[in-house]
Amino acid sequence: MGIRAASPEKKDQNEAVNQTQSNASSGNQAGPEGRNRAREGREELMLRVTQFVMKHDVPLTGPNLATIVAGLSGSDGGLARIFASQEISGEPISQRWLDDVGKMRSRENDRAGALENLLDRVEASIASFAKTTQSAHSQTSEHRGAIDAQITELEQSAHTAASEDGVERLVGLSRVMLERIVQVEEAMKKSQEETAELKENLAEARAQADVDHLTRLPNRRAFERQLEVAAKSADEKGQALSLGFCDVDHFKSINDNHGHDAGDRVLVAIANTLKKHAGKHLFAARHGGEEFVVLFPGLKAKEASDRLDQIRVELSSRQMVNRENGKSFGRITFSAGVSEVQNIDDRRGALSRADAALYEAKQSGRNQVLIG
């Protein structure tokens, strides 16, 4: 009997449940204080979910609960940003909006998973082929050497053998076989070279899959992987790790008043500023839309906040102009929220706190960095 794959809605529900169980597990491992924090976090999340459902008058169904929990808890950083942006903009949140967001999230997860699986399969096939051709090449070389030695021996014995004609025919056939082996060997060598080139192209394709095509910053996929690596490293070395969300202020107004090309220029300008400051203690990525996310390995929340605020001040001193009509965009600013990752299991919690701090920064005036 086959096992039927779970639907995207059921999968999202399971992820929401697993996230809650993971939080509870990490709380149990951290002793009474950790259990209290985990319990308080769950209570706060349930309160936020309840308030969200009542405020927007949406049914408390399984798919809705999975989407809302993922958006409000920070277990899905991109979804959390979509929720926050919708709240900040004042646009209505309805059942239709939740359905659209849920479908979009499912499609993004499916596309990312399909691409990753395809790259893995191609890479495995290339590795297997390379191993096979290398082995065949080695064996063919050994056989060629053995046959070559036998031909030499036959040629030497042909002068004393009674049946000289028969030996010469045998030598001739062996020479033909040897030529064929040489041809196969050359073909295998060419295949190995092509395989090496294909492996390089695959590595380049993997790298491109991790890059945002507009800003050339790492994308959300690359950030998620880097966050996991950084959290493990910080945990092993006993070092601090902080992260921050940045969101361009009044970005919709820039797009509406100056066009999407102008909006793209703003995003590229912010990306270039972040690149300039990137290094050992700063990893920046585009999280989607007008949202950027930053990792601060080795920095506590206050240090990370100060570093991000320096970038904010530097950026806000610039003036950008619409190339078509010469009108100024005004100052380019962003709001940000920063949080410190407390332990290796606190990655989603830190994202959620940073997101909440960003929301507060937006609500309390914009163009500032707050710690959550």
Q: Which of 26-40, 42-56, 191-205 has the lowest mean pLDDT?
A: 26-40
Query: How far apart, in whole angstroms, are the C-alpha atoms of residue 308 and residue 310?
Result: 5
Between residues 338 and 346, the one the model is more confident about:
338
**pTM greater than 0.75:** no
Query: How far apart, in whole angstroms, are the C-alpha atoms of residue 115 and residue 210?
Result: 11
Q: Compute CA 364 distance to the chain's CA centroid, rounded to the nearest angstrom.
A: 32
Per-residue pLDDT at 257: 87
- How many residues in total does the chain contain? 372
Q: Quick one: 65 exposed, middle or buried, by C-beta within 10 A (0-12, 13-18, 19+)?
A: middle
The closest of 156, 291, 155 to 223, measured between CA atoms, is 291
The closest of 119, 11, 142, 124 to 66, measured between CA atoms, is 11
Q: Compute CA 42 distance to the chain's CA centroid, rounded to the nearest angstrom.
A: 27
Per-residue pLDDT at 337: 96
Per-residue pLDDT at 367: 95
Question: Tens digits of per-residue pLDDT, 210-227?
Answer: 888 899 999 988 999 999
Type of residue at 229: V
Between residues 9 and 313, the one the model is more confident about:
313
Per-residue pLDDT at 122: 65
Q: Residue 149, Cβ neighbours under 10 Å: how many?
A: 10
* 43 and 55 Cβ atoms separated by less than 8 Å: no
Helix or strand or coil: residue 245? strand
Domains of the chain from N-terminus onward: 8-93 (no CATH), 118-209 (1.10.287), 212-371 (3.30.70.270)
Between residues 151 and 250, the one the model is more confident about:
250
Per-residue pLDDT at 179: 74
The dihedrals phi and psi of 215, each to the nearest 5 degrees, come to -90, -15
Type of residue at 280: K
Between residues 133 and 193, the one the model is more confident about:
193
Per-residue pLDDT at 139: 59
Q: Compute CA 335 distance to the chain's CA centroid, rounded to the nearest angstrom.
A: 23
Q: How far apart, in Å, do the first and last CA atoms of the chain sit?
A: 50
The closest of 123, 134, 67 to 94, measured between CA atoms, is 67
Q: Which of 152-166, 230-244, 355-369 has the lowest mean pLDDT?
A: 152-166
Q: Are strands 319-321 and 283-288 parallel, antiparallel or unpaired?
A: unpaired
* 241 and 234 Cβ atoms separated by less than 8 Å: yes
Q: Are strands 334-340 and 369-371 parallel, antiparallel or unpaired?
A: parallel
Per-residue pLDDT at 74: 67
Q: Which two tokens stand for residue 187?
A: 């073909």
Per-residue pLDDT at 31: 53
Q: Please enumerate in sequence order all residues whose Cβ is within 8 A of that of 270, keeping only pairs 6 or more positions apart, or say none.
A: 215, 246, 248, 292, 315, 332, 334
How would DSSP label each residue in 33-59? HHHHHHHHHHHHHHHHHHHHHHHHT--
The C-alpha angle with vertex 221 and arms to 275 and 214, in degrees rounded to 5, equals 50
CA distances from 293 to 36, 205, 262, 281 (A): 29, 23, 21, 14
Query: How far apart, in whole angstroms, are the C-alpha atoms of residue 350 and residue 372?
Result: 8
Half-sphere exposure (CA, 13 Å, Cβ side) for 39?
A: 8
Per-residue pLDDT at 10: 42
pLDDT band at 335 (very low <50, low <70, confident <90, very high): very high
Query: How far apart, in whole angstroms, are the C-alpha atoms of residue 369 and residue 361?
Result: 7
Average pLDDT rounded to a whole number, residues 2-7: 36
Question: Tens digits of per-residue pLDDT, 98-145?
Answer: 888 877 776 666 555 555 666 666 666 666 666 666 666 565 666 666
The closest of 272, 371, 368, 256 to 318, measured between CA atoms, is 272
Per-residue pLDDT at 39: 73
Average pLDDT rounded to a whole number, residues 60-74: 82
Per-residue pLDDT at 301: 95
